[in-house]
Structure 1
Amino acid sequence: MMSPTNTKRLAKQQRTLVTPEGISVPIRLASRGSRLGALIIDYIILTAIPILLLLIMAFMVGGFAEELASIEDENTQGAFEFLVVVLILVYFFTRYGYFMVLELGPRGATWGKRMVGIRVAARAGGRLTPEAVIARNLIRDMELFLPLAFIQGASVGDSGNFGLAGLIWFAIFMLFPFLNKDKLRAGDVIAGTWVVEAPRTKLAETLSTSGAAATSGSSDVTGARYNFGETELSVYGEHELQVLERVLREDKDEALEPVHAAICRKIGWDPGAGDERAFLEAFYAQLRAKLEGDMRFGKRKADKHS
C-alpha cells in the first residue's frame, strides 16, 4: 500500500503530453535525484573514454615512442603534437557528440539516463529536434563548466573575485530546477524539453505476445479481426509507433480512447467503442512489422511527415 505522502508526491509529478495529433499521453516527470544520478554516470563515462583512448594509444605506440624520443628533430616533436591534437579533438567530439547523438536516438536518453530509467522529451509533444538537443547541451557549459572553472581558478589564487562570481553563478543554475514546478534546468527552458520517467520494459514480450497482437489481429473481447492494409499503415512512421508503444505500456483508458479515436480518424475507420486496446495492439503489431520490413530494404519513415 502506497502512503498518502508518496501518492501526493507522485501526483505532483504527473503531466499530460499532447502530441501534434492532439493525443493526450500521461507521463511522469523524472525526479531531481535521478537526473543528478544520470549526470554523474554520464560524466564518469566521459572521463573514462579519454583515459581508455590514452591507454590504447600508449599501447599502440609502445617502444616506437621511446625510439622517437631519442631523435631530437622537428618531425618527432610534430608527431607528438599531432597525437595531442587528435586526443583533444576526440575528447571534444566525444563530450558533445555523446549527449547529442544519444538523445536524438529513438530512446531520447544517454547511457546514464537509461540506467536510471529517464529520458528527454519535447514539451510540445513532437519529436526531439537537433536544435533542441544542441541548445540544451550547449547551455550545460554555461550552467556547470564555466562557473566550475572560475571556482577552480580562485582556489589556486589566479582569478580573484571571479571565484566568488563563479560560485554564485553555479548556485543560481543548480537551484534553477527547484524554482519551477516542472523541475526544468535552464537548458530545458531554452530548448523546450523536459525529462520524464521511462520505465525499462521488454517491449517484445509485453506487446507482441499478448492480446490481439499475438493472434493476428483478433480481439479477445469481441472476436473482431483487425487487418490493416498498406494505405492505412503508410500513414504513420517510427515516431508515432513510439507514442503508441508508450500508450500501450501505460494501459490507461484515458489515454487509449483518444489515441484510438485519432488513429481511426486518420485512416478512415469506424470500428466503434469498447475494443480500443485490441484495435491498438493489432495496429501497433502490423505497423511495426511494416516499418521493420521497409528498413530491411533500406527505406525508413521517421514520422507521418516523411
Structure 2
Amino acid sequence: MSVADKNTRAFVTPEGVDLRLQIGDGGQRAAAFFIDTVIIMAALVALTLLAVATGITSGGQTGMEIAAIIWLLVAFLLRNFYFTAFELSAAAATPGKRLLGLRVAARDGGRLRAEAVLVRNAMRELEVFMPLSVIMMRAQEGGGQAWMFLAALAWVGIFALFPLFNRDRLRIGDLVGGTWVVRTPRQRLARDMAVEGSERLVRYPFTPQQLDAYGEKELHVLEEVIRRRDRRTVRAVAERISVKIGWAASPDQDDYDFLSAYYAALRGRLEGRMLMGRRRRDKHAA
C-alpha cells in the first residue's frame, strides 16, 4: 500500500459526495505550526519595537504604560485567537497551513462549525502554551523545583507525539473537537478555473436565486470536485446541484461544463456580495 493510500480517508459531504481526502502527515503539520509560530513571533517583535518607539516618543511614564498595555492586549489576541480566526475563515486554514496545502475539516463530513474550531484551539493552550510557559519560567529562574520543569517537558512531549500514535494523525484538540487536518493540493489556480468556467456561462444562464442556493463552503467543495475531475463524482454533484437549484438539464449537457459554469457564476456572485459587505459562509447562512 502506498503512502497516499494509507493517508486517504473517505470524506462524504452533506451532498453525498465522497471526496476521498488525504490526511496531512505529522511533518507537514509540524512545519505549518512552525511557520505560524514564526509569524506570531515576528508580529510580537514588530509590536515590541513599535511600543518602545511610541513610549519614547510620547515621553513620560504614562506613555510607556499605555504602550505596555497595548502590547499585552495584542499579544493576548495573537496567542488566543490567531489560529481560531484563520480557521474560521472560508479557507479553514492558517497562513502556515495554506503554505503547506492543508486545511481543517470536520470528520463527520459536515460543515466545519465554529464550536469545533474553538474547542480544538482551546486545547492547544493545554497542549503547548501552558507547559511551555512553565518551562520558560523555570529557565529564567535558573533552577529550583526541577521536577516541575521535567513534568512540563514531559507534558509537551506526550501531546506533541500523540498524533504519531493514531491512524488519522489527530491532536488531542482534533479528537475533542471532531476535526482533522487534510491536504488540499493546489493543482490549478482558482482564478484560472473561474475564467475557464466563465467562458461557458453563455450556455448556462443561472438566475440569482439559483446562485444563492450555496455559499463559500460549498464553493470550496465544488472547486475540489472540478480539480479532481472524477467522472462519477462530477456526475453525482451535477445531478444534486441541478435538483437543488431546479435546473432542467438538456439531454446533451456536459456535466463538467455545467459544474465549471456554475462554479464561475457562484464565485462571481459571492465575490460581488462580499464587496457590499454581505458574506455567506455556507448554504445554511441567511
The TM-score by the shorter chain falls in which range?
0.7 to 0.9
Cα distance in 2, alignment partners of residues 36 and 238 from structure 1? 28
Contact 2:218–2:283 under 8 Å retained in 1 = yes
Equivalent residue number for residue 244 of structure 1: 222
What SS is found at the alignment partner of 1:189? Answer: helix
**Aligned residue pairs, count:** 281
What SS is found at the alignment partner of 2:223? Answer: helix
1:171–1:299 Cα change, 3 Å: closer
User: Residue 240 of structure 1: CA displacement?
Assistant: 1.4
Aligned pairs for 1:1-306 within 5 A:
8-62=2-56, 64-65=58-59, 68=60, 76=61, 78-153=62-137, 156-200=142-186, 201-205=188-192, 207-210=193-196, 213-217=198-202, 225-269=203-247, 271=249, 275-305=254-284, 306=286
Structure 1 stretch displaced more, 135-144 or 268-277 = 268-277
Structure 1 stretch displaced more, 185-194 or 137-146 = 137-146
Structure 2 residue runs without a partner (length 5+): none
User: Residue 79 of structure 1: CA displacement?
Assistant: 4.4
User: Residue 159 of structure 1: CA displacement?
Assistant: 2.7
Q: TM-score, normalised by structure 1?
A: 0.83
Letter paired with 2:263: Y
Higher Rg: 1
Contact 2:273–2:279 under 8 Å retained in 1 = yes
User: Residue 19 of structure 1: CA displacement?
Assistant: 1.6
Contact 1:136–1:191 under 8 Å retained in 2 = yes
1:94–1:154 Cα change, 3 Å: closer
Structure 1 residue runs without a partner (length 5+): 1-6, 69-75, 218-224
What SS is found at the alignment partner of 1:174? Answer: helix
What SS is found at the alignment partner of 2:31? Answer: helix
Contact 2:194–2:267 under 8 Å retained in 1 = no
1:111–1:296 Cα change, 3 Å: closer
1:151–1:257 Cα change, 3 Å: same
Cα distance in 2, alignment partners of residues 227 and 63 from structure 1? 60
| Percentage of matched positions with identical amino acids | 40
Letter paired with 1:301: R
1:165–1:54 Cα change, 3 Å: closer
What SS is found at the alignment partner of 2:52? Answer: helix
1:171–1:24 Cα change, 3 Å: same
Letter paired with 1:191: G
Cα distance in 2, alignment partners of residues 48 and 245 from structure 1? 33
For each residue in 1:105-152, what CA deviation from the matched residue of structure 2 results, as whole angstroms up to 9, or x when unmatched? 121111111222211112223332221222111111211122333444
Q: TM-score, normalised by structure 2?
A: 0.88
Cα distance in 1, alignment partners of residues 9 and 106 from structure 2? 13
Cα distance in 2, alignment partners of residues 199 and 37 from structure 1? 16
User: Residue 157 of structure 1: CA displacement?
Assistant: 2.3
1:61–1:145 Cα change, 3 Å: closer
Cα distance in 2, alignment partners of residues 115 and 302 from structure 1? 22
Cα distance in 2, alignment partners of residues 264 and 90 from structure 1? 47
Contact 2:17–2:237 under 8 Å retained in 1 = yes
Letter paired with 1:159: Q
Cα distance in 2, alignment partners of residues 228 and 26 from structure 1? 29
